[in-house]
Amino acid sequence: MQTEESSTEALIDSTPMVEFAGVCKSLGNRKILDQLTFNVKRGETFVIIGYSGTGKSVTLRNLIGLMRPDEGSIRVAGEEITTMSNKELEVMRRKFGVLFQSGALIAWLDLFQNVELPLLEHTKMSRRKRTEIVQQKLELVNLWQDKDKFPAEISGGMKKRAGLARAIALDPELVLYDEPSSGLDPVIAYEIDKLINRLRDQLKMTQIVVTHDMESAYTIASRIGMFYQGGMLQIGTPDEIRTSEIEEVQHFITGGREGAVSRRSTTAIMKGRSPTFSARLEAGRGVEAAEPSGDAAPTIMELEPESSPIDPENKP
Amino acid sequence: MKDFIGLRAIRGAGYTLLLLLEALGYINHAWKRRRALFTQMHVIGTQSLAITCFFMLLVGMVFALQTGIEFARFGQTSLVGLVIVSAMVRELGPWMTAFVLIARVGSSMAAEIGTMKTSEEIDALEVMSINPVSFVVMPRLIGYAIMGPILTIFGTLVGVAGGALVANVQLGVPLDDFLRFAERGAEPLDIYWGLLKSLVFSLCAGAVACANGMRTSGGAVGVGRASRNTVVVALTLTVFLNYLLTSFYRMVKRLVAGIL
C-alpha cells in the first residue's frame, strides 16, 4: 500500500513539467529557435542563460503561447500546447505565472488592485478572501505597506516584486521569469533571487528563469541550460556549467574573459563534444547557417584567435 | 509586394473593423467592467466638455457672423437663426465635436494603449488569460460611443447659443426673431440623424485609436506613430463618412418627400 502510493507519486513527479522537442521558430528570415529540445522537471528552477537578443525571450513566448512554433512540440504538464485553440490556451495559462522584464503592471491600478486582478477575473472569491490573499502575496514580496501606490510612483525593483506577487496570486504550478534581475542593483537583485528560492522551497513551484546574470543563475538554479544559436548547447547543474569545458559556455559565464572562441576551435568543439551540433554541421546547417544576424547578435564568431573585442583594428 | 502600401492599409482597415466587432461583442462585460467604463466616460466626456463647448461656441459665432454678412446684403439677417440651427444640428455639431474628440481623446487613447503594448502590459493581460479587447478596448470604445453623442448635444446647444449671441449683439437680430426662425431649422428627424452621425464618428474614431494602439511596435517611436496615424486616419475617415452620410440622408429625405 505504502509503496504503491509512493511509486505513483514518483511517477507523477517524474513527468516533466515542460517538454520542448525539436521546436523551430523563424522571425522574418532569421531562424531563432532551431531544433530546441529540453525538459524541465517538476519543482526545479531551470535557468536559461545565453547572449542577449538570441531568442531566450522567444522561447518563453512560445511556451506561454504568445507565439506559435513553426515546428516541433511543446508540452506543459503532458499537454501539447502548440495545437491548442485560444480557448484551451486560456485555461492552460491559469497554471502559469509570468514575471515580465519591466513588471508589466497595469498603470491605472494601484499595487493592491494589480495583484487582485487575476483573482477578480478568474475566481468567485469574496472580497475578504481576496484581500487576505493579496495581503499574503504582497507581504511575501515585502510590499504590503505600499499597496496604495501606483506603478508610476515606485522604483523598478518594486515593480518587479509587485509583478511577482501578481504572477503568483493564483498559486500557479509554473512561474516564468524574463530577466528578473536586469536593471536592478545587486542587493535588490539578490532579494529577488531569495524570493525565487523561497517559492521553490516553500511552495514547490516549478520555475523557468531567463537571465544573463550569472551570479543570480548560480544562486537560484537547480539546472542551467546554455542557449546558443537556437538550441541548448549544454544543460547541467550550476557546478557542471561552472566547470564546463565547452568554450562558448566558458566564454559566456566568465563574461568573455576566458575561452576565447575562434571559428575554427568552435567547429572543433562542436564536432567533438556536441552531437546535436555536429549533426547539424553535417546537415549543412552549421555554424554559419545558424548564425543569427541583427544588431544584438553575438559577435564572437567573427573574432580571430587572439584578438579581443576592444582591439582597435577590429572596429568596423 | 510585402511592403506595398495599399496592402498595409487594407490589413489595417481589416484589423480595425475586426477589433471594433470584437469589442462590441464584449459589451456584455460592460457591467463587470463598469468602473473602467465610468473612468473612460469621465476622461472622454466630462473632461472634454469645456474644450468642446469653447470650440463650438466660437464655431457658432463665426458662422453667424459670416452668414450674417451675406444675409445683410439682402436684408434678411433674421434668417441667420435658421441657417445656424440646421447646419449645427445636422453637420457642424456632430462633425466638429468628432474633431475635438479625435484630437483630444483619440490621440491619447492610441498612445496609452500603444505604451501598454510596448511595456508588455497587453502581453501580461493575455498571459493572465484576461482578454485585452475586453479589458482595455471595450471600455474605451463604449465610453467613446456613449460620450460622443452626449457631447454633441452640448456642443450643438452652445454653438447655437454662440450664434444667437453674435446675431443679437453684432447683427442686431432680436432674440425673438432668431428663435422663431431657429425652430424651422431642424425637425426631430434631423436631430436624431445628427446624433446617429455622432455615434458613427465616435465608434470609427475609437476603433481607429484602439487598433493603432494595439498594433504598436517599436518603443517610443512606435507610440508616436500610432498617435499620429490615429489622428490622420480618424479625421480622414470622419470627413469621408460625413459626406457619404449627408448624401444618403438627402436621398432618403427626398424619397420620403416623394412618397408623402
Quote the CA–CA distance of A166 and A116 in Å, as a whole number.
7
- Residue A288: pLDDT over 60: no
Question: Would you call B127 and A96 a contact, using CB atoms and an 8 Å cutoff?
Answer: yes
| Contact list, B223 vs chain A (CB under 8 Å) | none
With beta carbons under 8 A apart, name residues in chain B contacting A98: 124, 127
Nearest CA in chain B to A65: B127
Per DSSP, chain A holds a count of helices (H) and strands (E) of 13, 10
> Which set of grid coordinates corresponds to residue B135?
479589458
Mean residue pLDDT across chain A: 77
Q: DSSP characters for A174-209?
A: EEEEESTTTTS-HHHHHHHHHHHHHHHHHH--EEEE
State the complex-level ipTM: 0.79
> Would you state the pLDDT for residue A244?
83
Mean pLDDT, range A288-300, rounded to an integer = 40
In whole angstroms, what is the distance from residue B28 CA to residue B23 CA?
Answer: 10
Mean pLDDT of A146-174: 90
Q: Do residue A108 and residue B120 have CB atoms under 8 angstroms apart?
A: no
Of A36, A43, A44, whose CA–CA distance to A19 is shortest? A36
Interface test mutation site (partner A, options B129, B131, B140, B214, max chain A beta carbons within 10 A): B129
Amino acid identity, residue B230?
A: T
**Of A100, A105, A108, which has the smallest distance from its Cβ to B123's Cβ?**
A100
The secondary structure of chain A in percent helix, strand, coil, rounded to multiples of 5, reads 45, 20, 35
**Which structural domains are found in chain A, ordered by start?**
16-95+172-244 (3.40.50.300)
In angstroms, rounded to a whole number, what is the distance separating the alpha carbons of residues A197 and A240? Answer: 20
Identify the pLDDT of residue B48. Answer: 94
The region that residue B97 occupies, defined by phi over 0 for left and psi between -120 and 50 for alpha, beta otherwise, is: alpha
Contact residues, chain B, for A150 at CB < 8 Å: none
What DSSP line would sit under B143-201, residue for residue? HHHHHHHHHHHHHHHHHHHHHHHHHHHTS---HHHHHHHHHHH--HHHHHHHHHHHHHH
- What pLDDT, on a 0 to 100 scale, did the predictor assign at position A281? 45
Minimum mean pLDDT range among A74-83, A296-305, B78-87, B243-252: A296-305
Could you list the residue range(s) of the whole structural domain that residue B111 is in?
Answer: 5-259
* Residue-wise pLDDT tens digits, B138-177: 999 999 999 999 999 999 999 999 999 999 999 888 888 8
SS (H, E, C) A264-298: HHHHHHHHHHCHHHHHHHHCCCCHHHHCCCCCCCC
- Cell matching residue A196: 525565487
- Per-residue model confidence (pLDDT) at position B25: 92
Check CB contact under 8 Å for B123 and A106: no
pLDDT digits (tens, 9 = 90+) for A104-153: 899 899 999 999 999 988 888 899 999 999 999 999 888 899 989 999 99
Give me the number of domains chain B comprises: 1
Chain B interface, mutation test: which of A27, A58, A93, most B Cβ atoms within 10 Å?
A93
What is the model's pLDDT at position A180? Answer: 87
